[in-house]
Amino acid sequence: MESNRMIGKINHFAEKVMRIAQFQLLWIVFSICGGVVLGMMPATIGLFTVMRKWLQGNEDNQSYVRIYWATFRKEFWKANIIGFILTIIGFMIYMNFTLIRFTHGIAYWFLLIFVFMMTILFVILLFYIFPVYVHFENKFNKYFSISILIGISSPFHTMLMIIGFSLVYLLLLWVPGFIPFLSIGLFSLISMYIAMKAFTSMEGKKEHASEENKSLMKGGFHNGFKPAANKNTRVETLNR
């Protein structure tokens, strides 16, 4: 009985590993289909999309390919714009790092602190931009600020990402043979999984705050206080 249970767990784990390898294979294929340079970002958006579906419980193997292909086509240009913006930001931070060597005195410390803060924000952006983009519907220019705000307001989850990425990096150093099959897939799995936990936590806090506001309003009614119907009503009440 115990041996059957152990074999079942091993098979379940092997299925999970094969699924991650399948997603990475799709990422490689679609990156090549887009000419690598123009294909990497749409393929990455497709990867996070199917990873999100998988984490939500979708086990249909054929649907993953359809979802990946549909996402790749739909988000091709937007994904490349995201990649272009990230490249520009990264290049600007790199250029500022090179300028630090030629500055002295107060300017040196000011530039050092500025570049350090920009680097932290950029890393947070890289952690969350893809999970946020595939999870939320919003205006295109909002995704960057939302990603940074979620990363800053969820320091525990951001730290978990750093730990998870570090462990994957050490694993790949230890077993380089995993790189063609599990590297991108594992990084995206950790990023999407932890980001979804952060999203759920933030939604829970929002619902809790909403319930507290409702209870405060009810308490106000019981104590004889009434909320103003509009600004004019409140002004009139205060004037009296």
Q: How far apart are the first and last CA of the chain?
A: 80
CA nearest to 192, candidates 140, 146, 127: 127
Residue 43 has pLDDT above 80, yes or no: yes
Q: Report yes or no on 102 lying in a domain.
A: no
Label residue 39 exposed, middle or buried (CB < 10 Å: 0-12, 13-18, 19+): buried
Backbone angles phi, psi at 79, to 5 degrees: -65, -40
Q: Report yes or no on 170 lying in a domain.
A: no
And the tokens for 100?
Answer: 């630090």
And the tokens for 150?
Answer: 């979620």
Q: Report yes or no on 55 lying in a domain.
A: yes
Q: Report yes or no on 30 lying in a domain.
A: yes
Q: Report yes or no on 32 lying in a domain.
A: yes
Q: Report yes or no on 53 lying in a domain.
A: yes
Max intra-chain CA distance, the chain: 81
Q: Report yes or no on 151 lying in a domain.
A: no
Q: Report yes or no on 3 lying in a domain.
A: yes
Q: Is the pTM of this model over 0.85?
A: no
Label residue 47 exposed, middle or buried (CB < 10 Å: 0-12, 13-18, 19+): buried
Structure confidence at residue 2 (pLDDT): 65
Mean residue pLDDT across the chain: 86
The residue with greater pLDDT, 95 or 218, is 95
Give the total number of structural domains in the chain.
1
Q: Which residues constitute the domain of residue 54?
A: 1-74
